[in-house]
C-alpha cells in the first residue's frame, strides 16, 4: 500500500514535475513574447522620433551653409527704425530682427520645447567683475530661457568668489578657473579663445546652442527661444540710428578688423554672441585668429574683440539679429521704439572695477 502510495506519489510527482516543466517553459515563452512585443513597441517609438526617410544626400548640401557675402559689395545701409518710428523686423538678407511684437512667445516656446535642447551660456567674471555674478545669475533664473535646459559655464580667476545662487530644475553651473590679467582689454580679448576651446572640448557633446554673454549685466525681461538660430548677433544700443560711416568699426587697414567707410550693416554688440555650437565655434575661431594676427603686429582694434566680431558678422551674416531690447545700457534713457528692456549693462564705476584704465 505504502509502496502503491509512494508509486502514486512518485507518479504524481512525476506528473507535477512534467507539469512544472511545461509551466516553466510556458512562462518562459510568455515572458519572452511579452519582452519581444515590448521591444517591438519601444523601438517603434524610438523610430517615431526619427520619422524621416533617410535620403541618401550625396551632394554637399548648401541650405545649412553660411550667409557669406563678398567684400566690397555696395548696397544701401539697412535701417533699424523707420522714419515714422516703426521698427524694421527683417534684415535685407531676410534674417528676422527680434522685437517685442514680432513673435508669439507661446508658439515659439512650444516649437522649441519639442526639440529637447540644451543651451550653453558662457560668462567671464575676472578680478572685481565677480561682483556682478549674483545679479546676473539670479535675474537669468527669472528671465533667461525659463523652462529650458541651461548650462552656465563661468570662467573666473577666483572660484571662491562665485556666489551661491539657487538654480531651477534642469539648470546647472560649471565654474572654470582661468588665469588673471592686469589689463581689462586682455581679459576681453582672451574670451574668444576660451570660448573656442570650451566648444572644442565640451560643448560639441553637451549643448545644441551656445550664448556668450557679458557678466556686468542683468536680465529685466524675457529672453527666450525667439533668440535661437544658427548665428545670432545683437544690435548695439548706442548705434542703431547711426550712419554706417560713424560706426566705431576699426578703421585702420593694418588691422584684420578693418571695415571701410562705405561698408557695414549694423554695429553689433560684443556683449552677446550666440547660435548653434558649430557656427559660434567658427565665429570665435576666426575672431581669435584675427586677434592673434593683430597682436603679432602690435595692433589692438578700437573695441577689441567687438571690432573683430563686427568684421565677422559683416561678411558672415547672422541668421537672426536681436534688437537692442536684448542689449541695453542702464544709463541710457528709454526710447519709444525699444518697448521692453530684456538684458542691460549695469551702471558701474569703471575705475573701481577695471584692473587698469
Known binding-site positions for UDP-N-acetyl-alpha-D-galactosamine: 129, 214-216
Residue 14's Cβ-count burial label (10 Å; 0-12, 13-18, 19+) is exposed
Active-site residue, selected from the candidate residues 300, 306, 325, 337: 306
Which CB, 110 or 201, lies closer to other proteins? 110
Which CB, 196 or 337, lies closer to other proteins? 337
Residue 306 a catalytic site member: yes
CA 227 centroid distance within chain: 9
- Inter-axis angle of helices 277-296 and 184-198, to 10 degrees? 140
d(CA 30, CA 24): 10
Which CB, 108 or 165, lies closer to other proteins? 108
- Helix (H, G, I), strand (E, B), or coil: what is residue 292? helix
Here's the x/- map for other proteins, 106-145, by CB under 8 A: it reads as: xxx--x----------------------------------
Measured over the CA atoms of residue 304, residue 306, residue 307 and residue 311, the dihedral's sign is: positive
Near other proteins in 26-85, by CB under 8 A: 51-53, 55-59, 61-63, 65, 67-70, 73, 75-79, 82-84
Here's the x/- map for other proteins, 320-349, by CB under 8 A: it reads as: x-----------------------------
Residue numbers belonging to the annotated binding site:
129, 214-216, 236, 306
Span from 42-50, 86-94, 138-146, 281-289 in contact with other proteins (CB under 8 A): 86-94
CB of 51 to other proteins, least distance (A): 8
CB of 299 to other proteins, least distance (A): 26
If one counts every other C-beta atom within 10 angstroms of the C-beta of residue 140, the result is: 25
User: Got the DSSP string for 45-63?
Assistant: HHHHHT-S------S---T
CB of 47 to other proteins, least distance (A): 15
Residue numbers belonging to the annotated binding site for Mn(2+):
214, 216
CB of 224 to other proteins, least distance (A): 12
Q: Which contacts of 177-183 are long-range, i.e. CB under 8 A and separated by 24 or more positions? A: 178/124, 178/126, 180/126, 180/127, 181/126, 181/127, 181/355, 182/355, 182/356, 183/355, 183/356
CA 295 centroid distance within chain: 28
User: Is 166 a binder of other proteins (CB under 8 A)?
Assistant: no
- Name 231's Cβ contacts closer than 8 Å, sequence gap at least 6: 66, 67, 274, 275, 276, 279, 280, 283, 316, 317, 318, 319, 320
Near other proteins in 89-108, by CB under 8 A: 89-90, 92-96, 98-104, 106-108
- Helix (H, G, I), strand (E, B), or coil: what is residue 130? helix
d(CA 177, CA 158): 7
Q: Which three cell numbers stand for residue 85?
A: 518710428
Near other proteins in 224-243, by CB under 8 A: 226, 243
Which CB, 3 or 74, lies closer to other proteins? 74
Looking only at the bridges linking them, the beta strands covering 268-276 and 209-213 are antiparallel
CB of 236 to other proteins, least distance (A): 17
Near other proteins in 245-264, by CB under 8 A: 245-246
**Residue numbers annotated as active site:** 306
Residues forming contacts to other proteins in the complex (CB under 8 A) are 51-53, 55-59, 61-63, 65, 67-70, 73, 75-79, 82-84, 86-90, 92-96, 98-104, 106-108, 111, 226, 243-246, 317, 320
Amino acid at each position: 500500500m505504502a509502496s502503491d502510495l509512494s508509486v502514486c506519489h512518485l507518479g504524481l510527482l512525476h506528473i507535477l514535475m512534467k507539469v512544472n516543466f511545461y509551466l516553466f517553459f510556458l512562462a518562459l515563452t510568455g515572458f519572452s513574447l511579452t519582452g519581444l512585443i515590448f521591444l517591438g513597441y519601444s523601438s517603434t517609438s524610438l523610430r517615431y522620433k526619427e520619422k524621416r526617410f533617410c535620403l541618401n544626400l550625396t551632394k554637399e548640401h548648401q541650405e545649412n551653409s553660411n550667409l557669406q557675402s563678398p567684400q566690397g559689395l555696395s548696397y544701401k545701409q539697412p535701417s533699424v527704425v523707420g522714419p515714422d518710428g516703426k521698427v524694421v523686423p527683417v534684415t535685407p538678407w531676410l534674417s528676422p530682427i527680434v522685437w517685442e511684437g514680432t513673435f508669439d512667445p507661446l508658439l515659439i516656446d512650444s516649437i522649441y520645447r519639442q526639440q529637447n535642447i540644451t543651451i550653453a551660456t558662457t560668462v567671464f567674471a575676472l578680478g572685481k567683475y565677480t561682483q556682478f555674478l549674483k545679479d546676473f545669475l539670479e535675474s537669468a533664473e527669472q528671465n533667461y530661457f525659463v523652462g529650458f535646459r541651461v548650462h552656465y559655464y563661468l570662467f573666473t580667476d577666483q572660484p571662491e568668489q562665485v556666489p551661491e545662487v539657487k538654480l531651477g530644475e534642469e539648470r546647472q553651473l560649471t565654474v572654470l578657473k582661468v588665469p588673471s590679467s592686469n589689463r581689462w582689454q586682455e581679459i576681453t580679448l582672451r574670451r574668444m579663445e576660451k570660448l573656442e576651446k570650451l566648444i572644442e572640448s565640451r560643448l560639441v557633446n553637451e549643448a545644441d546652442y551656445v550664448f556668450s554673454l557679458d557678466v556686468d549685466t542683468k536680465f529685466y525681461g524675457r529672453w527666450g527661444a525667439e533668440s535661437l538660430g544658427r548665428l545670432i548677433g545683437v544690435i548695439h544700443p548706442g548705434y542703431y540710428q547711426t550712419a554706417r560711416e560713424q560706426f566705431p568699426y576699426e578703421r585702420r587697414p593694418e588691422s584684420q578688423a578693418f571695415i571701410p567707410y562705405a561698408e557695414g550693416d549694423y554695429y553689433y554688440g560684443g556683449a552677446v554672441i550666440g547660435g548653434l555650437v558649430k557656427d559660434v565655434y567658427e565665429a570665435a575661431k576666426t575672431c581669435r585668429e584675427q586677434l592673434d594676427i593683430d597682436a603679432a603686429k602690435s595692433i589692438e582694434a578700437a573695441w577689441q574683440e567687438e571690432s573683430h566680431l563686427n568684421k565677422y558678422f559683416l561678411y558672415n551674416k547672422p541668421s537672426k539679429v536681436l534688437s537692442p531690447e536684448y542689449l541695453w545700457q542702464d544709463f541710457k534713457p528709454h526710447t519709444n521704439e525699444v518697448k521692453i528692456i530684456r538684458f542691460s549693462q549695469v551702471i558701474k564705476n569703471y575705475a573701481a572695477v577695471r584692473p587698469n584704465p
